[in-house]
Structure 1
Amino acid sequence: MKTIFSQNQLKHAPEHEISDGQLKPAVEIPERAEIVLRTVQSRELGEVVEPKDFGERPLARVHSPDYLAFMESFWERWTATGRSSEAFPFVWPIRSLREDPAPDHIDGLLGRYSMDAGTPIGPHTFEAAKAAANTALTAAEMVQQGERAAFGLCRPPGHHAGHDFFGGYCFLNNAAISAQWLRDHGADRVAILDVDYHHGNGTQSIFYDRSDVLFLSLHADPKVEYPYFLGHEDEAGENAGKGYTRNWPMPLGTNWRAYEEALDDACRWLLVYKPDYLIVSLGLDCFEKDPISGFKFESDDFTKLGRRLALLGLPTIFLMEGGYAVDALGTNCVNVLEGFERG
Structure 2
Amino acid sequence: MKAIFDQRQEQHDPKHFMANGALLANPEQPARISALLSGAQAAGCDIAAPADHGMGPIAAIHSPEYLVFLQTIHTRWSRIAGASEEVIPNIHPDRRTASYPRSAAGQAGFHQADTSCPISAGTWEAAYWSAQTAITGADLMRGGARSAYALCRPPGHHAFADLAGGFCFLNNSAIAAERLRAHGLRPAILDIDVHHGNGTQGIFYERGDVLTVSIHADPVRFYPFFWGHASERGEGAGRGANLNLPLVRGTGDDAYLETLETAFAHIRAFGTDVLIVALGLDAYENDPLKGLAITTGGFGRIGAAIGGLGLPTLLVQEGGYLAPELGDNLASFLKGFEAE
Q: Give the TM bin, normalised by the shorter chain.
A: over 0.9
Amino acid at match of 1:221: D
Q: 2:172 aligned with 1:174, yes or no? A: yes
Aligned equivalents of 1:54, 1:13: Cα separation in 2: 24
Identify which of 149, 154, 157 aligns with 1:156.
154
Structure 2 counterparts to residues 102-113 of structure 1, below 5 A? 102-113=100-111
Deviation >4 Å, runs of 4+: none
Amino acid at match of 1:182: L
Aligned equivalents of 1:171, 1:119: Cα separation in 2: 8
Q: 2:271 aligned with 1:270, yes or no? A: no
Other-structure match for 1:23: 23
Other-structure match for 1:334: 331
Amino acid at match of 2:207: R
Amino acid at match of 1:70: F
Other-structure match for 1:192: 189
Paired residue secondary structure (2:157): coil
For structure 1, the residue ranges without an aligned partner over 5 or more in a row are none
The answer on whether the counterparts of 1:99 and 1:112 sit within 8 Å (CA) in structure 2 is no
Amino acid at match of 1:169: F
The alpha-carbon deviation at position 99 of structure 1 amounts to 4.6
Deviations 1:276-334 (A, max 9, x none): 21000000001011111221111000000110001100000000000113321111112
Aligned equivalents of 1:308, 1:281: Cα separation in 2: 15
Other-structure match for 1:250: 247
The answer on whether the counterparts of 2:191 and 2:278 sit within 8 Å (CA) in structure 1 is yes
Aligned equivalents of 1:264, 1:44: Cα separation in 2: 25
Amino acid at match of 1:49: A
For structure 2, the residue ranges without an aligned partner over 5 or more in a row are none
Paired residue secondary structure (2:225): coil
The answer on whether the counterparts of 1:91 and 1:111 sit within 8 Å (CA) in structure 2 is yes
Aligned equivalents of 2:43, 2:147: Cα separation in 1: 16
The alpha-carbon deviation at position 9 of structure 1 amounts to 0.4
Other-structure match for 1:127: 125
Aligned equivalents of 1:38, 1:292: Cα separation in 2: 22
The percentage of counterpart residues that share the same residue type is 45
Q: For the aligned residues, what is the CA RMSD?
A: 1.2
Amino acid at match of 2:101: P
Paired residue secondary structure (1:25): coil
Query: What TM-score do the two structures reach when normalised by structure 1?
Result: 0.96
Deviations 1:86-126 (A, max 9, x none): 2211111025xx75421121111100001111221111101
Q: 2:127 aligned with 1:136, yes or no? A: no
Aligned equivalents of 1:39, 1:262: Cα separation in 2: 26
Amino acid at match of 2:30: P
Query: What TM-score do the two structures reach when normalised by structure 2?
Result: 0.97
Paired residue secondary structure (2:221): coil
The answer on whether the counterparts of 2:93 and 2:109 sit within 8 Å (CA) in structure 1 is yes
Other-structure match for 2:5: 5
